[in-house]
Structure 1
Amino acid sequence: MPLDPQISARLKRDAAGLVCAVVQQHDTREVLMVAWMDDAALAETLTSGRAVYWSRSRQELWRKGDTSGHIQRVVRVSVDCDGDALLLEVDQTGPACHTGTRTCFEAGGDLGAVDGLAGDAA
């Protein structure tokens, strides 16, 4: 099923035709991962209730959890004001990261940024 032309017209894609997708656990707001979507992946996501992405390494559609069982059931999909990023709110089963951790950001680790709020008075 092709992507609705009205939705397609709102998106700004990179040179490869992809849009960044930030994936968040719907109830805790925890950011789980970042992935990429082409029009086919977004269309299937919107119509199937399962998160589908474009795998840049395999160059094919990737339905999250088909091999691992760690599926993402879609609760909501939003587009940002510029049309260059999507927010997928999902219900994650199992770890989201291929390393086995709950989030890909847990696996990557904290880079040690200075806390800009530390000196603010209450």
Structure 2
Amino acid sequence: MSVSWLEEIQWTEEGLVPVIAQDHVSGRILMFAWMSRESLALTVAEAYAVYWSRSRQRLWRKGEESGHRQKVLDIQLDCDSDVILLKIEQEGGIACHTGRESCFFRSLTDGEWQTTEPVLKDPKAIYK
């Protein structure tokens, strides 16, 4: 009897696994989030990213409000079985709730966090 692929993952005590979303073409890291067993199973079934929102304590379908969904093209598990990498196609070109392409838009320069990426769309126009 084989072990379910979900059981091969090293889940945190809270039943979560960290997830990195990466653009499948450019290789750019777009965001980091968490998944539960249910959200990962739904991601596999729907081929669109479904995360677990720790702040809202519920499933979060990426793009449910903004329309900026993430089509999942590949799911990879790291060598320690404790981090998931999603290779995705970012719909609308915006992954961050700040209206930027990536959530990683600040760089440490001379001891200060400097914004290095422009806002592509005002968040007030994205979220109602």
Q: Could you say whether these structures have the same fold, taking a TM-score greater than 0.5 normalized by the shorter chain as the test? A: yes
Out of 74, 82, 85, which is 2:83 matched to?
85
Name the CA distance, whole Å, in 1 between partners of 2:47 and 2:23: 15
Which residue identity does 1:98 align to in structure 2?
H
Give the superposed CA RMSD: 1.5
Q: What is the aligned residue count?
A: 108
Q: Identify the residue that residue 102 of structure 1 maps to in structure 2.
A: 101
Q: Which runs of 4+ in 1 moved over 4 A?
A: none
Identity of aligned residues (%): 45
TM-score normalized by structure 2?
A: 0.80
Structure 2: which 5+ runs fail to align? Answer: 111-128
Kindly indicate whether residue 108 of structure 2 is the aligned counterpart of residue 111 of structure 1: yes
Q: Identify the residue that residue 117 of structure 1 maps to in structure 2.
A: none
Structure richer in strand, relative to its length:
2
Which residue identity does 2:100 align to in structure 1?
T
Tell me how far 1:7 sits from its aligned partner. 1.1
Name the CA distance, whole Å, in 2 between partners of 1:49 and 1:9: 20
Tell me how far 1:112 sits from its aligned partner. 3.6
Q: Identify the residue that residue 37 of structure 2 maps to in structure 1.
A: 39
Which residue identity does 1:11 align to in structure 2?
I
Tell me how far 1:101 sits from its aligned partner. 0.6
Structure 1: which 5+ runs fail to align? Answer: 114-122
TM-score normalized by structure 1?
A: 0.84
Tell me how far 1:98 sits from its aligned partner. 0.6
Tell me how far 1:80 sits from its aligned partner. 0.5
Q: Identify the residue that residue 57 of structure 2 maps to in structure 1.
A: 59
Q: Identify the residue that residue 17 of structure 1 maps to in structure 2.
A: 15
